[in-house]
Structure 1
């Protein structure tokens, strides 16, 4: 046997072993990246959902204050007692803490939409508490702006999460026709 006939099989085995190691390493790295992506997607989803829920709860509470002040109509007024205001301050602190997770996990568009949502929510708070604000926005106008910025936030979060479709819902008039009120600040869909 010649030297070439002895070396060629060894080179083939060595080449096969190296290729096998490279393919295994690439597969493991791809799997690791996929697992990391799923892990962060789940955390982003939870951060977005919990934040959106907390903002909605706060807007409902501010709406209750607005009902009690006569800024809008509804069946659940919330008197601005010391205990109520303390609960609202705690809920706002919780919302602020949840926002920190957004800054860490969200993309620029979602974080920008969250900032705009915060401002719209704070506008509701100021109106509901009777604090002076610049401009002449009424509760219904501020509430419609809040609803728009909330939908913008949800749309941005959906894009960041890779949820298909840019539209969340079709336009549905509020309040519904059966509702006796024509106040756009009634309810919080």
Structure 2
């Protein structure tokens, strides 16, 4: 075997080794990148679910407070206790929103701002900071569930979830309001 053949063989072995090394490095880098993306997607999903759950807790607490403050329901708990529950729920919603702000992009954050505005409108009615008839109260609930559905759609798109839901049929399913009260003969 002459020297040129040996050099070609050595060069082929070195080239093969370098190619294998580079391929392995690129594959590992791709795996790390995918792992990081999945980890952040999991964190986003947790943040989005926590946020919507905290919003729904606020709505539920506001409904109970509203029903008691407007004499639509009698409960063994005082108005003050119910309003304190609402205050605590609002605090959890605010913290969940801050976590969402750290992980989400602009479309999700914009949708969450709309949800926050609608949630606060319900909160203010329950606290009697803003007055209005029961029909307006119901309209606020329709709006909050519409805003939650928009948030769901934007969050699903952000997470790369295919499919979706549209229309008002989902919005009306979320309403947890009492029936319209008819006054008794003495009222």
Q: TM-score, normalised by structure 2?
A: 0.82
**RMSD, aligned CA:** 2.8
The alpha-carbon deviation at position 143 of structure 1 amounts to 1.1
Equivalent residues in 2 for 1:158-173, closer than 5 Å: 158-167=156-165, 171=169
The equivalent of 2:44 in structure 1 is 44
Equivalent residues in 2 for 1:58-77, closer than 5 Å: 58-70=58-70
> 2: distance between equivalents of 1:58 and 1:173?
17
Structure 2: unaligned runs, 5 residues or longer: 182-187
- CA displacement, residues 50-79 of structure 1 (integer Å, 9 cap, x when unaligned): 1101100110111122222339x6x67696
Of residues 146, 153, 164, the one that matches 1:148 is: 146
The equivalent of 2:21 in structure 1 is 21
The 4+ residue runs of structure 1 with deviation greater than 3 A are 75-80, 172-175, 180-183
SS at match of 1:163: coil
Q: Which has the higher helix share?
A: 2
Query: Are 1:62 and 1:125, in contact at CA under 8 Å, matched by a contact in 2?
Result: yes
Query: Are 1:62 and 1:124, in contact at CA under 8 Å, matched by a contact in 2?
Result: yes
> 1: distance between equivalents of 2:122 and 2:141?
7
C-alpha distance 170-122 of structure 1, shift in aligned 2 (>3 A): closer
The alpha-carbon deviation at position 154 of structure 1 amounts to 1.0
The equivalent of 1:3 in structure 2 is 3
The alpha-carbon deviation at position 48 of structure 1 amounts to 0.5
**1:118 matches 2:113:** no
Q: TM-score, normalised by structure 1?
A: 0.81
